[in-house]
Amino acid sequence: MKLSIQFARCLLVLLAPMTLAQAADASIVTLRNTFLQAERYIAEQRDDDFHVLADTLKDYPLFPYLQYQWLSQHLADEQAVKTFMLEQAQSRYAVLLQQKWLESLGQKRQWTTFLTHYRPGHDQALQCYAAIARYHTGQTAEALAWARELWLAGKPLPAACDELLSLLQASPQFDATLVWQRFESALKHNHVNLASGLQAAMTEADRGRAVLWLEIQRKPALFDAEAKAMADDPRAGELLALAVMRWLDTEPGAAFDFWHRYQARFVISPDTRQETGKRLALALAFRRDPRAYDALSAITQADETVREWRVRAALAQQNWPQALTAITALPASESSQDRWLYWQIRALQQTGQHTTAAPLLHTLAQKRSLYGFIAAYQLGQPIAINDVPASIGDEAIKALVASDRELQAAGELLALGRQKEAKRQWQHAVSRHSHDELRVAARLARDWHWPAVAIATVATAGEWDDMALRFPVLYWEDIETNARQHQLSPALLLGIIRQESAFDPYAESSASARGLMQVLPETGRQMAELLRDDGSKTRDLFQPASNIRYGSYYVRRLLNQFDNHPMLAIAAYNAGPGRVKRWRPAKTLPADIWMETIPYKETRNYVASVMAYALLYQQRLQKQDLRMVDMMADVRPG
């Protein structure tokens, strides 16, 4: 423990970011180099040399990580694996090693050992191994019940589940009905290849029916020609629902008419009828169809999505009495949100109830949200920042690090430049901390120059009022230069960066968007070409200067494309310009209604967040280049 405390002290010298050059103790530098050499020995399978070095690293925070790497290549050493999982039970790597070991046991069919150490989780391959293990250890009924559940889900499964499904297919309970149910479920989830592959296991009659279903799944309008012939088919109602579901995205109005023409003619389960009606009504609302409000009102089991879109359907038609009725019907947990308080005020104002609206408007204007900022603008008063910096001393930070080996490990991974692994380790470490410790940890992350992690950690703590921590001003020189060059508001660029990456230059999305402004490689290449740069290599997008250069120019081009309207450009930055073109209204709409009726929840929230963040940054920068009147200008047809 002496070394651990010494390490923590070195880590926190002047609360500086951890780099080799800043390490205060030469022994830490030596340990890092030894760790890296030990990793090389693992890669080269030089086990004897590895063990010699590993013995010198037992007090180093990344020793469990090193052991995990070696044991991952030696899963057959059961005793060593068990010892590690016992001794490092609090380590994230114990969980990861256990998963790998269980996979190995499943592959080797060591069922008794597998069941001894398996704990239920979300990994589907391990779930299947567990069911297979139970089958082979006498728990046949339980295993087949789980197999049946997976089978009926109608979704592709990992290869580890193949044997389990084979056991089900060989059991007495397997029949043609189960095959058809999986086929139908697969089509409902749009797994067409899976559904098609089931035809070989069907009866001849079902196979013929399946061919028709697959055709109608591909071309829903074909149901019209087949409806009369299917009048006596008890499954035709489910096919009708399937056809309608497939039609929703392209022609919701036609799908709505189709459903109401045929639904009474066929047997349809109550659940399917309810779900189809809901999906149709929402699809109409997404298109601002005038029929949406009544369709949503007709849904008997309305959930939060239906209730909220009922309000939006009324707003889309600017039917303020209907909007007020729909808002009043929201439960208190929803109606108390800033968004719905804002729309209640708008509806009251539009229906002439200004006396009732006035005190609500003053209340909303004190809130730190886009809706609160709009309310403040209406009242002609400054937006409410409500900044309350956290009072956390350096001693509290030092004490937290000194007491937590898992945080120390995250710090070392960060020092070694392993950003993604460091972030995963941090998340594991702070998951065990109290509210007060999370507040301290957020300050620690900020002092380590890790803003994205600081922002995420303080959010986990539910602390929202430290503006310097939640809204840092970083990369200012690049932001200011590009804002000036492209006639942009620096606050807008800061708002986009804060929403896109929370100032993490290494951020990468599942769609390969990269860096501070989450620029796609193709977009980066296009912007580089237009700017007559030498070219944007993929890795350059992780460089803040390049990322801000291309991201800001893309913002400029989007503004040019969308009438210099900040709200439309922000929406296009998130969802793409093609979608925003489709979302433009048939007739001019107030900007707040246009934003509220964006069909994508992610984009709707994104626009509200970026606009709010930009206004917050503008206040922090003491600038006035973003004007509410421009941000909230009416949205005209495209």
Using CA atoms, how far apart are residues 255 and 258, in angstroms rounded to an integer?
5
Residue among 379, 340, 382, 380 at smallest CA distance from 361: 379
Q: Which residues of 272-291 are buried (b: 16+ CB within 10 A; e: fewer)?
A: beeebbbbbbbbbbbbbbeb
Radius of gyration (C-alpha) of the chain in whole angstroms: 29
Return the axis-axis angle of helices 320-328 and 304-316, rounded to nearest 10°.
160
Q: Please compute, for residue 223, the number of CA atoms within 13 A of its CA located in the half-sphere on the CB side.
A: 29
Question: 140-313 and 476-631 share one CATH topology?
Answer: no
Q: What is the pLDDT of residue 26?
A: 67
> Computed from CA positions of residues 55, 56, 59, 60, in that sequence, does the dihedral angle turn out positive or negative?
negative
In whole angstroms, what is the distance from residue 518 CA to residue 388 CA? Answer: 30
Report the distance separating Cα 62 and Cα 88, nearest Å: 12
Interatomic CA distance for residues 251 and 606, integer angstroms: 26
Q: Give CA torsion, residues 219, 222, 227, 232, to 10 deg.
A: -60
The answer to whether 186 touches 154, Cβ cutoff 8 Å, is: yes
Tell me, what's the pLDDT at 224? Answer: 87
CATH top-level class of 394-470? mainly alpha
Q: Is 514 helix (H, G, I), strand (E, B) or coil?
A: strand
* pLDDT for 115: 97
232-286 residue pLDDT tens: 889 999 999 999 999 998 899 999 999 999 999 999 999 999 999 999 999 999 9
Compute φ and ψ for 137, nearest 5 degrees.
-115, 25
Mean pLDDT over all residues of the chain?
94
Cβ atoms of 240 and 215 within 8 Å: the answer is: no
The structural architecture, per CATH, of the domain 476-631 is Orthogonal Bundle (1.10)
Residues in the chain, total: 638
pTM of the model: 0.92
Q: Tokens representing 319?
A: 């039917």
What's the CA gap between 133 and 124, in Å, rounded?
Answer: 14
Q: Low-confidence residues of the chain, pLDDT below 50? A: 1-10, 12-24
Please give the pLDDT value at position 592. 98
pLDDT tens for 556-607 read: 999 999 999 999 999 999 999 999 999 999 999 999 999 999 999 999 999 9
The maximal CA–CA distance of the chain, rounded, in angstroms, is 84
Q: Where along the chain do its domains lie? A: 2-133, 140-313, 394-470, 476-631
Check residue 320 and give its pLDDT: 99
User: What DSSP designation does 533 have?
Assistant: -
196 and 154 Cβ atoms separated by less than 8 Å:
no
For residue 319, give Cα distances in angstroms to 290, 295, 298, 496. 10, 15, 18, 33
Q: Note the pLDDT of residue 422.
A: 98
Q: How far is CA 549 from CA 49, 485, 524, 526, 567, in A?
A: 48, 10, 9, 12, 21
Backbone angles phi and psi of 135, in degrees to 5: -60, -45
What pLDDT sits at residue 535?
63
Give the position of tokens 């005020």.
Answer: 345
CA neighbours closer than 13 Å in the CB half-sphere of residue 259: 27
Q: Are 574 and 607 in contact (CB under 8 A)?
A: yes
CATH superfamily of 140-313: Bacterial muramidases (1.25.20.10)
* Region label for 532, one of left (φ > 0), alpha (ψ between -120 and 50) or beta (otherwise): left
Q: What is the model's pLDDT at position 139? A: 97
Residue 229, pLDDT score: 86
pLDDT at 1: 40
Residue 165 CA to residue 155 CA, distance in Å, equals: 12
User: Do residues 51 and 82 touch, judged by C-beta distance below 8 A?
Assistant: no
pLDDT at 250 (0 to 100):
87
